[in-house]
Amino acid sequence: MLFSRINLQTELIRERRAQQALLEEAHRLLQEYDSKDSDVRMRLSRSSQLSGASFSLIDEDEKRVFRLTEIKTLCIRYRLRFLNTVHFKSEYPYAAIAEIRAFEKKYNTKIKEFYIAAPEHSFDLENINKDPLLFVGLGNDQYFLLHQWGKDLAWYKKITLWPLQSFRNCFISLWIAAILFSMLIPSGVIQATSFEGEIYLRLFLTVHFFIAFFVYTVWAGLTFDKTVSNKNWNSKYYNG
């Protein structure tokens, strides 16, 4: 009845049932989210080579599409690897998982092909702070940037990694290093009898410094299974 008396015990029981219903609904939603997150992580770890996702991007997302040649240039410049996520051994932050789910919901699709650009050690070691870039393949050598995490690269990386971009850069760097070493030797140590003699002696030292640096570089490359970036930017092998 509208004006019936209120029983406090009955009200308390009703309140408890309402609270339990809310908790059960929250628990159900959490289980549903955990299930979806697990599905995304499973697809990341079992990503396979496919032709690419089939859907049309809206205009605001077009700016996040990059061609393979652009990604290759970035990987060579900063000594990264661009591989299928099946080779990635580090943990994915939850923000990356949430970004994938939001993307799939937005385009009503289910992605099965993921790629990641990161330093080579991120594919072998458990280290998440290595600036990875997570992509989804769109086909026709185009990739959509889903998420980035980690820290920004230091400004000097472009300079210090330049010699490792290609054999040509390495060769030039060895000559530059040889010239600098020969020029840094004090004239008193060279003990040349004339200026022309000092120049010829420094040229002689430059050649020998280059030979020494070249031999050491070859030895280090063979010993530690290292090569230049434009040869291994998309290799799944440690010494590839």
How confident is the prediction for the chain on average, in pLDDT? 79
Tokens of 176: 């530059």
Band (127; pLDDT cuts 50, 70, 90)? very low
Phi first, then psi: give them for residue 125, nearest 5 degrees.
-110, 155
**pLDDT computed for residue 71 by the predictor:** 93
The pLDDT score that the predictor gives to residue 129 is 44
Domain boundaries of the chain, sorted by first residue: 1-154, 161-232
Higher per-residue confidence, 23 vs 203: 203
Using an 8 Å Cβ cutoff, are 139 and 112 in contact? Answer: no
Burial class (CB in 10 A: 0-12, 13-18, 19+), 201: middle
Q: What is the pLDDT of residue 164?
A: 86
Q: Is the pLDDT of residue 180 over 90?
A: yes
Going by C-alpha positions, the residue among 38, 39, 43, 33 that lies closest to residue 115 is 43
Is pLDDT of 195 > 90? no
What does the alpha-carbon distance between residue 224 and residue 216 come to, in Å, rounded to a whole number? 12
pLDDT of residue 199: 83
Q: What is the pLDDT of residue 72?
A: 92
